Each structure stands twice: as structure tokens, then as C-alpha cells.
Structure 1
């Protein structure tokens, strides 16, 4: 009997080719005319028109001399915007501050402004990058300070922004279950300290929620059946008739006579 062998034909290397999409430009986009972007502070920055034209909602605001005035955007956020146009990536300037918290707060504010600008001008990739920065930097900042910064950097937030709504919700929810000391301590214990209006509002919400939880929580002396010590036991009427009233016996003890069961009525055993 002959031996049967499987044969597999290997592809010939010179005939085997995978088509790869080449996204490199035919000519450098850094040549030609540049748009000059003016921000709220700092020197103007330039971007090749060929790159800016990819974002029509922003480039449509260019004036006849190829200048773009964005004075409502701070210069440090403007750098994030221009760096994104040139590289497709996120970068902010070195944050100012003397402590780690101050630097983190400054960088967080920049990321929130970049996020707001990305949504306003439909820069979807920059919006995604800014989300990551907001989540990363927000971990190191106290919630009350973070909310104050959000109010200043993203004001007013749009109603059709479910991601940002859920992000703020994820920050506030833990405060309801385990509020920090500065939100539950008495005003006398915080003498001399200051709170923003938002901080005062947040503190009031936490206090109201804590009070509501205390009212809704069952007493530790309550049983699993819901009957608590000190509560009168409900008397459920019986089919055997009303419960007899307690009486005093000859020596003054309180007794309750047993109930007589109702027997069969007259004729119950009569046979027809």
C-alpha cells in the first residue's frame, strides 16, 4: 500500500504582495502659506494653511490676511492646539507652580480647555487625547478644587456632553458614600478657612445626603423581620374570635382567659 502525503503549495515570494495604504503626503505640508494664530496671551503661532484646512470649522474663521484670532483661548492651550495640528498628538507647555499640586492643577486646567476647544471646533482626535489627560491629572487634585477649575475652564459646559457628565458623576459619587473631613466637619472646626460657592453647595449636598441616609437606615436593634425593640407588636385578628380582655384573679394577678373555640353549629351533624 502506497504512503499518502499531504502537499501544500507555498506561495512564491516574488508573487506574494500585501497592499499597504501609504498615507504619507506627496509634498511637504510645511511649505507654502502659513496662518497666524493669535491667542489671549503670548506670541502668535503659525500653522501651514494645508494643515489647518483639514479642520474647516476652524479654518473658516481665517481672515483675508490668513490671520486667525482666538483671543478667548489662553496661549498655553493654544500651544496644545498648534502641536496637535502639526503632529496629531497632545503636548502642553511645562506647567507653572511651586508644588506638585499647583503644577497638576495648572496642567489639568489646560487639558479641560483643550477638551472644550476640541468639542467646539469638532477636532475629534484631540477631544479623545484631552479626555485621557483630564482623567490622568484629575486623580491628583481634590474634588472641590477640581470642580472649581472645571467651572472656570469649561463654562458653560454643553448639555449634549454625556462623557463629561459621567466623569463629574464619577467624582461626586464617592463623596456621597465616604465624604472627606472638610465636607462634614462643623463650621467651628473650619474657622478661618474659605470655601468657594461651589464648595459650599457641594458640602450642603453631602450633608443632606448623610442626613437622609441616617433616616432611612434601620436601627441596629431591629430584627431581620423588621420588628424593632420597643415597638408594639401588631395584633392580628383571629378567626377564633376577639382576644379576651385581661382580668384580675383573686390575689390580684393579671390573667387572660383562654378563648373557647367555636363548635359546630346546631344541626351540623344532622343527617339528611
Structure 2
């Protein structure tokens, strides 16, 4: 049973914006299992609405997952309170704002508000995932982790370059995380998207542990002119959110304090809490 559940999760993890459809043979090769085993698993997942079959006898993610994700968001109390602060930040600066949590070695956007009109930001909708090393919010979240565990996670996952400014080596990342930890905020200088800068600050619970990161995304030409003002605004928003965070509602991949946490990496390179 445990192995079957693990295989189901591995199948779900194959799907992405770049690869939204998979055939049985492709899944069998990717997971190194027999075609009959892949077929049986995917048929069961289809019956459970976790997958849906197309007219070409290929599979896409099922609509039940959308319902589950909506339930997750709606039952996250702090998200509602954080949204109020995010809206004020967005309306004041007329720029796109995000709230991110850490899931393994990825930053996941759990809230996004944008003005009208808004610049187009790739892979930034609610539920989107980006490698944590490539974003300001992700690096802010990584500062709560022991370096040995971060290094091990990225050794498995790799550090893909999204732009020419993306950090791509462990030494660079370690130096950057030390700087971010010391200054209390992170800046993304076109590291995730060409022409876009971002500043992020930590949201902490009553014990001082980082539970999320709030960020403001600004076109590079505007950010260079007012980086100090943008940074101050995001830091203030993070303080307001922290005051509202009376309990830990976001349970991402890394939530314990650096002094007490033991974090391990899974075989696929993601970081997991050992507690």
C-alpha cells in the first residue's frame, strides 16, 4: 500500500506546465516500472478523478485536484488576514504582490494580488512553484534552514538558471543567504524574470519562526529608482503580517527554527521535516 501511494505521488509530480500530458508508456519509462503497472495505477487515479483521460488516450491532471487545492487555500486562516495587508501594499504601490511558502526546495505562491493594468509575470499565479534559489521570496525562506540541508537538497535538484542573473552555484547561494539573513530582506535583481525585480521580507509567527515571505515585484527600471522605498514598504508589510500570525498556519517544507530543526532530503532532492 505504501509503495502504491508513493507511485501515485510520483506520477502526479510528473505533470507540469511544460509537460501537461503523459501517456502510459511515458510514465512507465519515467518511473522505471512496467507498462501494465503504470496502466493500472493511472486507471485507478482516473477513477478517483486525480487524472483525466484525453481523446488521444493520454492523461492530464484531474479536476479533483483543483477542488483539493481550493480547500487547502480556503482553510488557511492566515491567508485571509495576510490578504488584507497584501491589498494595502498593492494599492499603495500599484505593483504585483505575492505571499510564498517553502515546499521542499521550491517556493510556492499561496496568494497573489495585482493592479490593473498589470505587467505579465510568468509562472507566478497561486499554486505556482519555482526553485527557491531563483526568487527573492524563496531565498528569504531558505535563510531559516541549516546550510548543510540546503546544500544537500540542491545537490539533488540542481540549480537551474532562469536568467543570466540567477544564482547557479552553492557557494554563491551560501553567500547570498548569509547576506539576506543579516539584512532581513532579499532582493531579486532580474534573477527569475528578465526586466523584473523583487524584494521580499519574512513573515514570522509568535515564536519568531519564518512561516512565509511577502514580496513586491516591480519592473527593473522603476525598482532602481525607488529600491529603498519599496524595501521599507515590504518590511513594514511583513511586520504587520507577523503581528497577525498568532499560530503557524503555513506548514511548508521547512518550518522549524534553525536551532531546533532537523531536515532531511528525500531521494528526489526535496527537503523534508524529520520531526
TM-score range, shorter chain: under 0.3
- Which structure exhibits the higher relative contact order, with contacts defined as CA atoms closer than 8 Å and separated by 6 or more residues? 2
**Whose radius of gyration is greater, 1 or 2?**
1
TM-score, normalised with respect to structure 2: 0.23
TM-score, normalised with respect to structure 1: 0.23
* Higher strand proportion: 2
